[in-house]
Amino acid sequence: MTVTTDVRDTIAALRRQVADLHAELPRNQLVVWTAGNVSARVPGRDLLVIKPSGVSYEKITPDAMVVTDLDGVLVDGELSPSSDTAAHAYVYKHMPRVGGVVHTHSTYATAWAARGEAIPCVLTMIADEFGGEIPVGPFALIGDDSIGRGIVETLREHRSPAVLMRNHGVFTVGRDAKSAVKAAVMCEDVARTVHISRQLGAPVPIEQHHIDSLYDRYQNVYGQEPAK
Amino acid sequence: MTVTTDVRDTIAALRRQVADLHAELPRNQLVVWTAGNVSARVPGRDLLVIKPSGVSYEKITPDAMVVTDLDGVLVDGELSPSSDTAAHAYVYKHMPRVGGVVHTHSTYATAWAARGEAIPCVLTMIADEFGGEIPVGPFALIGDDSIGRGIVETLREHRSPAVLMRNHGVFTVGRDAKSAVKAAVMCEDVARTVHISRQLGAPVPIEQHHIDSLYDRYQNVYGQEPAK
Amino acid sequence: MTVTTDVRDTIAALRRQVADLHAELPRNQLVVWTAGNVSARVPGRDLLVIKPSGVSYEKITPDAMVVTDLDGVLVDGELSPSSDTAAHAYVYKHMPRVGGVVHTHSTYATAWAARGEAIPCVLTMIADEFGGEIPVGPFALIGDDSIGRGIVETLREHRSPAVLMRNHGVFTVGRDAKSAVKAAVMCEDVARTVHISRQLGAPVPIEQHHIDSLYDRYQNVYGQEPAK
Amino acid sequence: MTVTTDVRDTIAALRRQVADLHAELPRNQLVVWTAGNVSARVPGRDLLVIKPSGVSYEKITPDAMVVTDLDGVLVDGELSPSSDTAAHAYVYKHMPRVGGVVHTHSTYATAWAARGEAIPCVLTMIADEFGGEIPVGPFALIGDDSIGRGIVETLREHRSPAVLMRNHGVFTVGRDAKSAVKAAVMCEDVARTVHISRQLGAPVPIEQHHIDSLYDRYQNVYGQEPAK
């Protein structure tokens, strides 16, 4: 790999960011043991930064992160990439606006995924962040393109940045790694709340035009203006 | 805005208090990510102190807090006010004895809100703090007076300092910001306990005269005498 | 009150112990806000040490603890005793072997209490610690002897050191304050496990002679020999 | 006992490792109070290292750990061994490839155990780690070989490193103590997720050939290559 100094600096910054964001997963109770991973695209290059395989959360440092190409082949780093790298790589290859990907087996979202059931849009927070239901992707075995294809084909037909992979867990995407982590946190939060609501009856649906209006406002107005 | 030195000191103290109280929200597991906010009225002035929009809980400092008038218009501070400021402001404008407002999407309370179902008064702790059921307010879109009006109209007809806004989350009020935070913590606690109790059968109702007697005692006797 | 130096030392030690044990309540997620309290009998004296009313867990220090007689009347300390002091005092007065009392509204135990339903003995841990079901006491209002009488009358007919007071919460007793705290922790743990087990079917009962054998062994064999 | 310097060093290292691994139990919310224990076989010797009985998790140090033979008789250490030592010892005696054993009463796994119901293999994570359902062992009283025999007879007929002992709790095994702790963490995680999934319907089964393929891959490919 020939990389300019600029790209080296970018990768160094992404290693730090990706390592730091992994701390959000146990902090938000999205993972146990070494399960779960965060990656970031290297902008303008066919590269990604991801967690190595089977490394515990206390041992995650910027230096431990690995760099692969968009076929999941190791380009830089001393450890084997996460066994989910192929799925991350497939998403970056086929969704050019995605800059970050997160994978977890967070409890409530995975419980919906085990039933193969989408999370209905019955909270304003779901309308805000997901723009409608959180959809279910197919059952897919690890080891080839199946998981990546399942993610991409499902997300293309929805506004949601999260997909529940059947019998497996959650993948989320975002314009950067932090947005993908936020989507993973929000996905588990609404999966839990809707589950609990459904245990004692039927949540009231939100009308489609209200969902559209909430989604539009949140995507365009919420938060601080970006720094100029 | 022309403010005297006294008001400046009061606002500085409220910025500290409001910033500190935000730490109670994640500590009591009432919020994830940047959701949820606490505000305080500036006594004797048509002003309030509130959290800025989309700022993470670790970055909340007294200086980051913002001051708005009771139409939610920014008066002091460098960041945009919380997107829920209009609802807080409406409450202060129409409920003159309220000195603090809290908004969360805490899990169990929001689960009741998604079904549009009030939390029945089946625990002595609910009688103590809420004086009866915790009521449901209407579905309301963000962006105008709807949420504020829904809160005020619902709370006016109940002793409860908490209202479950349908498909949305919880608003609580108090004589000051700390009391409103306490109501938010208690609301989630009883929402959880009654939910769990109902999962395996019907909680025993408490007779109305017992509710009245518990509420009266708790509001007048509990806690330490205020310092003289 | 005339107290000898010995009693003063005992009380100082109990203040420390009771203050320290309060930290176990939030640590084991048995309480929110200022709810819940631990007390200890002053051995050989008609006195008890207890938490003051409405004080937050971070502000609990040995000096903040208060001493009352067995009618709940303040004997030493600067703050008002817990509003539950009368119930603790009644227990010490009528159960001479009890050296510690704990009161919480822990979620799962209180959920059983709200239905007025005893926790059945379907775990070896329940047989070990409680010797049978965890019973339900009557609905009782705060303000006179009712709660204390309800606790004592219920516990007298069971081996259990814990009683679920209807629509209210849990009281546990022990030979000292630490044992009562252990019973409160165990009570919530088994209340949670049996609740969850029951959600998807019927737990298998344990035969009475097995319960007897487990209880006998645990009360006499478990743990380290006391220091000589 | 005559031990060489080598064995002394091995035992010292195992005392540290076993003491450290106990911290994973409360950290992963698998235990309350003093319940739960981890042990390790001393390789090549008929000895094991285990937690003493009734000692709290904050007081666990390498020096507090005790060494027993494979009949559970104390060989080295100042405190009585865990009351579960006989069960651990029986497993080491009859399963020569097992190097670590863990026992907990973790909530969700114990809830399945109370119903005497195996956890079905409806998540890829269950296929990966357990190779099929997590089976139920018999009801057995503490005090003789019953628990140990129940564990060994059940595990021999399954690929699972975890067994749910009826009305009691969980035992897990591994090639070393860390692997057994991992199995205990994973067992509770999948017990929780499948429970929650089942609350609102039926999880989709995974076909047997997919289970076999996932198990085979995970046991042989996942993680980093062992250091050479």
What is the least distance, in Å, from the CA of B19 to any CA of chain A?
18
Q: Using 50, 70 and 90 to split pLDDT, how confident is the model at D111? A: very high
Is D213 a domain residue? Answer: yes
Spatial distance between the Cα atoms of A21 and A123, rounded to a whole number of angstroms: 26
Q: Using 50, 70 and 90 to split pLDDT, how confident is the model at C128? A: very high
Residue pairs spanning B and C at CB distance below 8 A: 86
CA-nearest of C61, C143, B125, B157 to B136 is B157
- Residue from D55, D117, D142 to probe the interface with C (highest C Cβ count within 10 Å): D142
Is A228 a domain residue? Answer: no
Q: Which of A55, A105, A115 sits opposite D125 (nearest CB)?
A: A105
What does pTM read for this prediction? 0.95
Q: Which chains touch A (3+ CB pairs under 8 A)?
A: B, D
Q: From its phi and psi, is residue D33 left (phi > 0), alpha (psi between -120 and 50) or beta?
A: left
Average pLDDT value for residue range D61-68: 96
Q: Which two tokens stand for residue B204?
A: 């025993």
**Domain extent for B93:** 5-220
Alpha carbon B30 to its chain's center: 12
Q: Is the pLDDT of residue A72 over 50?
A: yes
**Helix C177-199 / helix D177-199 crossing angle, nearest 10 deg:** 60
Q: Where are the beta strands (DSSP E) in chain C?
A: 37-42, 47-50, 66-69, 74-76, 100-104, 136-137, 162-165, 169-174
Is D50 a domain residue? Answer: yes
Task: Tell me whether residues C53 and B222 touch, CB distance under 8 A.
Answer: yes
What is the least distance, in Å, from the CA of B186 to any CA of chain C?
8
Q: Using 50, 70 and 90 to split pLDDT, how confident is the model at A4? A: confident
Task: Tell me whether residues D167 and C217 touch, CB distance under 8 A.
Answer: no
Is C225 a domain residue? Answer: no
- Using a CB–CB cutoff of 8 Å, tell me whether C141 touches chain D: no
Spatial distance between the Cα atoms of A203 and D200, rounded to a whole number of angstroms: 13
Is C227 a domain residue? Answer: no
Percent of chain D with pLDDT over 70: 95
Q: Which two tokens stand for residue C176?
A: 């000292």
- Using a CB–CB cutoff of 8 Å, tell me whether D28 touches chain A: yes
Spatial distance between the Cα atoms of D126 and D129, rounded to a whole number of angstroms: 5
First to last CA, chain D: 34
Q: Using 50, 70 and 90 to split pLDDT, how confident is the model at C221? A: low
pLDDT per residue over C152-201, tens digit each? Answer: 999 999 999 999 999 999 999 999 999 999 999 999 999 999 999 999 99
Mean pLDDT of chain A: 94
Is C46 a domain residue? Answer: yes
Determine contact, residues B87/B79, Cβ cutoff 8 Å. no
**pLDDT value of residue C70:** 97
The H or E element containing residue B85 is: helix B85-94
Q: Is D222 annotated as catalytic?
A: yes
Sign (positive or negative) of CA dihedral D36, D42, D222, D127 = negative
Mapped to the 3 state alphabet, what secondary structure does chain A carry? Answer: CCCCHHHHHHHHHHHHHHHHHHCHHHHCCCCCCCCCEEEEEECCCCEEEECECCCCHHHCCHHHCEEEECCCCEEECCCCECCCHHHHHHHHHHCCCCCEEEEECCHHHHHHHHHCCCECCCCHHHHHHHCCCECEECCCCCCCCHHHHHHHHHHCCCCCCEEEECCCEEEEEECCHHHHHHHHHHHHHHHHHHHHHHHCCCCCCCCHHHHHHHHHHHHHCCCCCCCC
Residue type at D162 in one-letter notation: A
- Count up the domains in chain D and report the number: 1
pLDDT per residue over D189-207, tens digit each? Answer: 999 999 999 999 999 999 9
Q: Is the pLDDT of residue D213 over 90?
A: yes
Q: Using 50, 70 and 90 to split pLDDT, how confident is the model at D2? A: low
Q: From its phi and psi, is residue A126 left (phi > 0), alpha (psi between -120 and 50) or beta?
A: alpha
Low-confidence ranges of chain B (pLDDT < 50): 1, 226-228
Mean pLDDT of chain C: 94
**pLDDT value of residue C228:** 37
- Using a CB–CB cutoff of 8 Å, tell me whether A55 touches chain D: yes
Q: From its phi and psi, is residue A143 left (phi > 0), alpha (psi between -120 and 50) or beta?
A: left
What is the number of residues in chain D? 228
pLDDT per residue over D129-177, tens digit each? Answer: 999 999 999 999 988 899 999 999 999 999 999 999 999 999 999 999 9
Is D96 a domain residue? Answer: yes
Spatial distance between the Cα atoms of B16 and B7, rounded to a whole number of angstroms: 14
pLDDT per residue over B50-60, tens digit each? Answer: 999 989 888 99
Question: Of residues C3 and D154, which shows the higher confidence score?
Answer: D154
- Using a CB–CB cutoff of 8 Å, tell me whether A57 touches chain D: no
**pLDDT value of residue C225:** 53
Residue type at C50 in one-letter notation: I
Q: Using 50, 70 and 90 to split pLDDT, how confident is the model at D220? A: confident
Q: Using 50, 70 and 90 to split pLDDT, how confident is the model at D4? A: confident
From D211, which residue of chain A is nearest by alpha-carbon distance?
A141
**pLDDT value of residue A103:** 98
According to DSSP, residue B57 is labeled G
Q: Is the pLDDT of residue C91 over 60?
A: yes
Q: Is the pLDDT of residue C223 over 70?
A: no
Domain with residue B143: its CATH number is: 3.40.225.10
Is C74 a domain residue? Answer: yes
According to DSSP, residue B162 is labeled E
Question: Of residues A77 and A5, which shows the higher confidence score?
Answer: A77
Q: Which two tokens stand for residue D92?
A: 């080491």
Alpha carbon A215 to its chain's center: 19
Residue D133: Cβ-neighbour burial (10 angstroms; 0-12, 13-18, 19+): middle
**pLDDT value of residue A177:** 98
Give contacts of B114 with chain A, Cβ < 8 Å: 122-123, 193-194, 197, 203-204
